[in-house]
Amino acid sequence: MPGYRIVFVCLGNICRSPMAEVVFRSLLEDAGLADRVAVSSAGTGEWHVGEGVDRRAMRALHARGYDASAHRARQFAHDWFDQHDLVLALDSANLATLRRLAPSPLATEKVRLLRSYDAEAVRRGDLDVPDPHYGGPDGFGRVLDLLERACRGLLVEVRREVAP
């Protein structure tokens, strides 16, 4: 079982967080680190528990060679802070929710914004991944662009954590 655990968190766990999970898992596999890092995703809300990925997100992922067909939405639970080394929120609203849920200062330290690993986003002060759910299909491709960039930055940091 991998020793380092990451969970991506958005609101409903049918768009952004499963997209980030799939992208990052692919990067880990390409880097030969999939056996050292476990990746999952969840939502802060319960509305979509048990559902698959939004079909527009699925199309955007499929167009770039990713497969999210096995995903089923889950809700983030309090005890997940103990089970994960890094809790990555996709936007500031979910970041605030996760920090409120954190049972201790140590748990709070595990919570970060995913785009804080994207140097360009940090420079611009634009750290939220917008929610494409209520927009058109083009929003999912844009979100995927943001996720791929942030996940590449995250990989650099994770490699330092799990390097032999």
Q: Which residues are catalytic?
A: 10, 16, 131
| Residues in contact with 110: Cβ distance below 8 Å, sequence separation at least 6, in sequence order | 81, 84, 85, 86, 87, 102
For 16, 19, 48, 58, 62, the CA distances from 69, given in Å and listed in that order, are 15, 11, 15, 8, 10
Rounded to whole angstroms, how far apart are CA atoms 143 and 57?
Answer: 9
CB-based contact 57:19 (threshold 8 Å) = yes
